[in-house]
């Protein structure tokens, strides 16, 4: 049975996030925009397999959710360039966590590597007050306030 965010408690932070960007194409569009603004055609190339009508719908939805913004670069015909808002750019951390998990559980996925030395990177939760990583059993005890 696929995940349905409406079946989760409305106060769940995960449900709130999934309600805004909880599908494959939306997350891949956000990933494609992490490098900077792109035009529609550039996004179709950056997100392999996405149909133009699906991309157009995801762009409209992401804009209505304030994850991206569009700016016209041509009036006739109307054409736009898309870029992440500050809220959208904050998704980079979540995407890194998903990519880290994907690289560990998918046989064909390559891990994200540090450009300087080539070592696979690890994404972790970090407590800025304690100045240390939070993982293992301690991460299981995380609570949402």
45 inside domain: yes
| Strand-pair partners of 83 | 69
CA-based nearest residue to 94, from 142, 137, 38, 31: 31
- The structure's pTM equals 0.74
Higher pLDDT, 52 or 97: 52
User: How buried is residue 95: exposed, middle or buried, by Cβ count under 10 Å (0-12/13-18/19+)?
Assistant: middle
Q: Give the pLDDT confidence of 6-26 residue by residue, as tens digits.
A: 554 556 777 888 888 888 899
User: Average pLDDT over the chain, rounded to whole?
Assistant: 86
CA-based nearest residue to 41, from 100, 32, 75: 32
Question: Residue 129 — pLDDT band, cuts 50, 70, 90?
Answer: very high
68 inside domain: yes
112 inside domain: no
Q: What is the pLDDT of residue 1?
A: 46
Looking at the 3D structure of the chain, how many domains does it have? 1
114 inside domain: no
- When mean pLDDT is compared over 44-53, 101-110, 136-145, the highest value belongs to 44-53
Rounded Cα–Cα distance for residues 138 and 144 (Å): 14
Q: What is the pLDDT of residue 106?
A: 84
Residue 3 pLDDT exceeds 70:
no
Q: Which domain, by its residues, includes 57?
A: 5-89
Rounded Cα–Cα distance for residues 39 and 79 (Å): 8
113 inside domain: no
CATH code where residue 37 lies: 1.10.10.10
140 inside domain: no
Residue that has been written with the tokens 């006739």 in this structure: 76
Q: What is the pLDDT of residue 71?
A: 96
């Amino acid at each position: 049975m696929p995940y349905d965010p409406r079946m989760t408690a409305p106060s769940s932070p995960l449900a709130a996030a999934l309600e805004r960007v909880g599908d494959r194409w939306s997350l891949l569009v956000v990933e494609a925009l992490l490098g900077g603004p792109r035009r529609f055609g550039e996004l179709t190339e950056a997100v392999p397999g996405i149909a133009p009508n699906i991309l157009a719908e995801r762009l409209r939805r992401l804009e209505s959710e304030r994850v991206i913004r569009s700016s016209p670069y041509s009036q006739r015909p109307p054409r736009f360039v898309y870029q992440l808002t500050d809220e959208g750019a904050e998704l980079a951390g979540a995407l890194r966590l998903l990519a880290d998990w994907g690289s560990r559980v998918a046989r064909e996925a390559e891990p994200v590597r540090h450009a300087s030395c080539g070592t696979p990177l690890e994404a972790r939760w970090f407590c800025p007050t304690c100045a240390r990583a939070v993982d293992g059993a301690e991460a299981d005890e995380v609570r949402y306030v």
